[in-house]
Amino acid sequence: LQFLYFIGTSVRKKMKEQLSEAASPKSVDGMATDSLITWSLPVAPNDPKKTRKLRQKCGAPLEDIPKPQVSDVLARFIEKREWVDASGTAWVQEASPEPASRLDAVILEENLDKKLRTSGAYPTGICPTRRQHFQECFSEVIRQITAESVERGILLHKVREEREATIRGYEELLESRAGYAFRIALKGEKDHFRVRTRIQELKALKAELLEEEERLKAEEQRARQEGEEMLKEEDKRRREELGMLGKESHLKKTQLEAITVLPRK
Please give the C-alpha separations between residue 108 and each of 34, 94, 144, in angstroms, as whole numbers: 12, 18, 11
What's the whole-number average pLDDT of the chain?
Answer: 81
Q: Widest CA span of the chain, in angstroms?
A: 191
Q: Look at residue 159 in the predicted model and tell me its pLDDT.
A: 92
- Any idea what the Cα angle at residue 38 is, between residues 101 and 128, rounded to 5°? 115
Q: Look at residue 99 in the predicted model and tell me its pLDDT.
A: 87
Is the pLDDT at 185 greater than 70, yes or no? Answer: yes
User: 251-262 in b/e burial notation, b at 16+ Cβ within 10 A?
Assistant: eeeeeeeeeeee
pLDDT band at 213 (very low <50, low <70, confident <90, very high): very high
H or E element in which residue 91 lies: strand 90-93
Beta strands in 102-207 (DSSP E): none
CA torsion angle for 118, 121, 123, 128 (degrees, to 10)?
-150
Residue range 25-45, pLDDT digits in tens: 445 655 656 788 888 888 888
Residue range 221-246, pLDDT digits in tens: 999 998 899 889 888 888 888 888 88
Is the pLDDT at 205 greater than 90, yes or no? Answer: yes
pLDDT band at 11 (very low <50, low <70, confident <90, very high): very low
Residue range 134-175, pLDDT digits in tens: 999 999 999 999 988 889 999 998 998 998 899 888 888 888
